[in-house]
Structure 1
Amino acid sequence: MKIRPLLVMLIAASAQSAAAAAEKPPNVVLIISDDHAWTDYSFNGHPHIRTPHIDGLAAQGLTYRRGYVPSSLCSPSLASILTGRYAHQHKVTSNDPPLPPGKTGKAAYDDAAFRGQRKEMVGFIESIPTIPRQLAQRGYVSFESGKWWGGNYKSGGFTSGMTHGDPDHGGRHGDVGLTIGRETMKPVFDFIDESTESGKPFFLWYAPMMPHQPHNPPARLLDKHQNKAPSLDVAKYWAMVEWFDETCGQLLDHLDAKGVAKDTLVVYLSDNGWIQDPAAPRYAPRSKQSQYDGGLRTPIILRWPGKIQPGESDRLASSIDLAPTILAAADLKPAPEMQGVNLLDASAVKAREAIFGEIFTHNAVDIHRPSTSLRYRWTIAGDWKLILPARQNEPDAPIELYNLAADPAESKNLAEQNSSKVAELRRLITNWWTPG
């Protein structure tokens, strides 16, 4: 008679465990800004740019103010977000393969050998675990929109998407997907609606080519900034940031309208930084493609109402962390090859000694040997940042050491007077990756 209550308790506990295991995992919306400096948000103190929707997301979520991407160039950065690996591991180090001898522009893109190598680069992602591939194990449907360098959306493991990737019809870095945000939000709204109606958890890759060039914002936003900005080019960029923020608001509002915001993990970051050259329609030095924070740093925001306590963290975070973070939220173990930590695990974030990154050439030197395209490796440990040049591509560049707390603009190289700190951080970089 005494056994029966215990049996009832065991049955009840088993039922509770089964119910927990069967609980629907969160939807995941990944918002990726494109060519957007870490300073250019009103919540980060920009004096003129207003980003109320991203500000609201930051206020409602956990915001890592010292977030970074490993590479300050679109294609390798996006591939690292998707795979949780560094570029030297997934091998998408650059935007494009080597240029064919004597060819540039369309002539290069149409070259048979160039296209063949681009197809090989797509294959690097086709064959390894990605966020949507792993989420599919828990019944997720997924959708790609916006910037995408991996050929057809299926190459990344998405169940649906916008990018066809056909080079004969403009396929390179997003093709049809590049209309998202700039021209329409309907494809992502339709995906959310259909997923919600089916009862399936969903993963949305929302990566509009914004505020990326072309800087052609609506006149109403450009007019707002023309008398405040130091030049027309800067005004256009500021207006593009605000236009992008408006699209984020439309997306977040749609989650609210469908009643799924509380069941959705929203993740925000930029793929790399951008400092607008005031004198020309291009980026300034020390931003995109550079080894400096102007190209590498980004806020990383995680919002999941009722599950994530809102707040700010000054701990270091990396886009490498997003794959394990998202998969953990879905009660999945990240693939062993994924390098980051779960940003929702405070003890894991606290225990990490340093973060790392690498800068490569825009066009690869040899797509099969990442070290041939390497320009710099870098690490940040505490307040200290060390930059090591790769002599094959940067023969004259100095070793650089900065104290980011005292010198966030990285204006004073302290390497010569701090040889012991250089040696300490060099060991960290060497243990992380020594190019072969």
Structure 2
Amino acid sequence: MGHEAIRTPNLDQLAKESATFERGYVPTALCRPSLATLITGLYSHQNGITGNDPAATAANRMYQQQTGTDPRELLISNIDQHPTLPQMLGERGYLSFQSGKWWEGNYQRGGFTAGMTRGFPKPGGRHGDDGLAIGRTGMAPVNAFIDSATEQDKPFLLWYAPFLPHTPHNPPQRILNKYAQPGRSESVAKYYAMCDWFDETCGQLLDKLDEKGISENTLVVYVTDNGWIQDPNGKGYTERSKRSPYEAGTRTPIMFRWPGKITPTMRNELCSSIDIVPTILAAAGAKIPANLPGLNLLPNLEQDTPIDRDTIYGESFAHDIADIQNPQASLLYRWVIQGNDKLLLTYDGDTGKMRFPPKDGKPQLFDLKKDPHEMKNLASQRPQRVEELNQLIENWYPVTERTAGRIASQPAPKQSK
């Protein structure tokens, strides 16, 4: 993508062999809800998985008292309410394997036929547990699954969601040596090396497909769960990256590789991870549920034709969920991109960990072509455009009255006629 230092030769090669969307996005820039969209094909406000953990709030304590169930289990139970990608492919005879990040209990809870994560309520079962070793300590479990599936002559789904380049940033010294240099902080050098390490494991996975002779008959999809800009003075991320709806938080390359089926090309249309589930289902000849909001992109990818859409949507919620029965209680942003115009609407979702929304709560309108880093808010200069995009957001995901959290001061959205 043009970075001045980080080298990712395996992903570069994948991009050359794929339909690569440079303007790809995830609707929610936080790992758990982002992954929940990839497994259900639904927005966070639809599948109920809006944040990483239930907050210690009165509302969540009340649910625990009423049900006798830990709020963490109540949150996980949302995955039981919707068909998952492994379940839907399972109806077509697919085996499936979970590795890496996975929040929704044991891997079987998501419909995987095999996997690595024990999950809550097992000790340490929060966001992947044993699965987080994949990539960092080798690829043996993934390789064994691919070997087994091919020996059985079974189609398969592989969920490769490594804990890379996630913290802790502890890359192998051999890779860190490539990035350590005078004038570059240690934290930045380590992050750069982690990206390189991640790329290396992706190469190992793609090589495995070649080794088994199945690359020609395998759809490879690449997406990132959220962005990250390394704090040069610490181990964390900067404010406008992970968890934020700004470009550095929610934008990601999205690639689809299927040799002989999908035309390799760099595409500049808008693409969202909400499109991945219906596209995979179409590739597998599986039925696409009517309630999925994403597009089946396969016909466009096969025929290299333009996508008949110029608008995508997203939302941001607090890291900790104030009310697991009421997603709006933790709502921080709703956003829309139409063409190059991007509108952010801000709310004061309440968990005690609110960080990103500006204090004034005013709409933010950006021209992404002229201002890709979103530094100049044009809302006051283009009020009509704000109203138009505001109406699109309201039609997509209307905000209603709620008991927890309050809508920050801003123009009230017009109601649909």
TM-score normalised to structure 2 length: 0.89
The correspondence for 1:127, drawn from 81, 92, 114, is: 81
**How many percent identity over aligned positions?**
53
What is the CA distance between 1:385 and its match in structure 2? 0.3
1:284-317 per-residue CA deviation (whole Å, 9 max, x = no partner) reads 1100011201100000000001111100110000
SS of equivalent to 1:167: coil
Report the 3-state secondary structure (helix = DSSP H, G, I; strand = E; otherwise coil) of the residue aligned with 1:270.
Answer: coil
Cα displacement string for residues 264-296 of structure 1 (whole angstroms, at most 9, x for unaligned residues): 000001000000000111001100011201100
Of 237, 243, 255, the residue aligned with 2:209 is 255
Tell me how far apart the structure 2 counterparts of residues 228 and 425 of structure 1 sit (CA, whole Å).
46
Following TM superposition, by how much is the alpha carbon of 1:150 offset from its aligned partner in structure 2, in angstroms? 0.5
User: What letter is aligned with 1:162?
Assistant: M
Task: Give the aligned partner of residue 49 of structure 2.
Answer: 92
1:196 aligned onto 2:153: no
* Rounded Cα–Cα distance in structure 2 between residues aligned with 1:155 and 1:229: 47
Higher relative contact order (CA 8 A, sep 6+): 1
Candidates 293, 317, 323, aligned match of 1:366: 323
Contact 2:57 2:323 in 1 (8 A): no
Matched, 1:382 2:336: no
1:314-339 deviations in Å (ceiling 9; x for gaps): 00000000000000001122112211
Q: Which residue of 1 aligns with 2:361?
A: 397
Distance in 1, Cα, partners of 2:349 & 2:230 = 29
- Aligned-pair CA distance for 1:373: 0.9
Q: Distance between the aligned counterparts of 2:168 and 2:311, measured in 1?
A: 36
| Partner Cα separation in structure 1 for residue 182 and residue 118 of structure 2 | 41
Distance (whole Å) between structure 2 residues aligned to residue 273 and residue 229 of structure 1:
24
CA contact (8 A) 1:126 1:157 kept: no
Higher share in helix? 1
> Which contiguous aligned blocks of 4+ residues in structure 1 show a shift greater than 4 angstroms?
391-395
Q: Aligned AA for 1:175?
A: D
Matched position secondary structure for 1:88: helix
What SS is found at the alignment partner of 1:125? helix
Q: Decide which structure has the larger Cα Rg and report it.
A: 1
Cα RMSD between the aligned structures? 1.8
- Whether the 8 Å contact between 1:146 and 1:180 is mirrored in structure 2 is yes
| Helix, strand or coil at the partner of 1:77 | helix
Moved more, 387-396 or 335-344: 387-396
Whether the 8 Å contact between 2:269 and 2:310 is mirrored in structure 1 is no
Q: Closer, same or farther in 2 for the Cα pair 1:214/1:328, shift >3 Å?
A: same
Alignment-derived partner of residue 410 in structure 2: none
Give the drift of 1:99: 2.3
> Which of residues 17, 24, 30 in structure 2 aligns to 1:73?
30
Alignment of 1:422 with 2:386, yes or no, is yes
Contact 2:57/2:322 (<8 A) preserved: no
**Code of the aligned partner of 1:185:** M
2:307 is paired with a residue of what secondary structure? helix
Q: Is the 8 A contact 1:341 1:349 kept in 2?
A: no
Cross-structure match for 1:351? 308
Q: What is the match of residue 320 of structure 1?
A: 274
Question: Which AA in structure 2 matches 1:165?
Answer: G
- Change in Cα spacing, 1:389 to 1:349, as seen in structure 2 (3 Å) is farther
User: Post-superposition shift, 1:115?
Assistant: 7.2
CA distance 1:357–1:199, change in 2 (3 Å) = same
Partner of residue 159 from structure 2, selected from 205, 219, 244: 205
Q: Out of 281, 284, 299, which is 2:253 matched to?
A: 299
Local SS of the residue matching 1:139: coil
Residues 114 and 189 of structure 1, relative CA distance in 2, 3 Å threshold: farther
Query: Aligned residue for 1:51?
Result: 8
- Counterparts of 1:400 and 1:228, CA distance in 2: 38
Native 8 Å contact 2:143 2:208 kept in 1? yes
- TM-superposition CA deviations, 1:356-407 (whole Å, max 9, x none): 0000001001011111110000000000000001245556322100000111
| 1:343–1:349 Cα contact (<8 Å) kept | no
TM-score, structure 1 length as denominator? 0.85
Structure 2 Cα separation of the partners of residues 181 and 115 of structure 1: 34
What residue is the counterpart of 1:186 in the other structure?
140
Aligned counterparts of 1:114 and 1:378: Cα–Cα separation in 2: 36
- Decide which of 260, 272, 283 is 2:226's aligned counterpart: 272
Q: Which runs of 5+ in 2 are unaligned?
A: 59-64, 351-356, 401-417
Tell me the residue number matched to 2:263. 309
The letter for the 1-side match of 2:189 is A
Inter-CA distance 185–340: structure 2 relative to 1 (3 Å threshold): same
| Structure 1: gaps (5+ residues) | 1-43, 102-110
Q: Which one of the candidate residues 279, 282, 285 is aligned to 2:236?
A: 282
Residue 432 of structure 1: which of 391, 396, 408 is its match?
396
Aligned-pair CA distance for 1:100:
5.7
1:120 shift after superposition: 1.1
Task: Give 1:137's match in structure 2, choosing from 88, 91, 112.
Answer: 91
Q: Distance in 2 between matches of 1:351 and 1:85?
A: 20
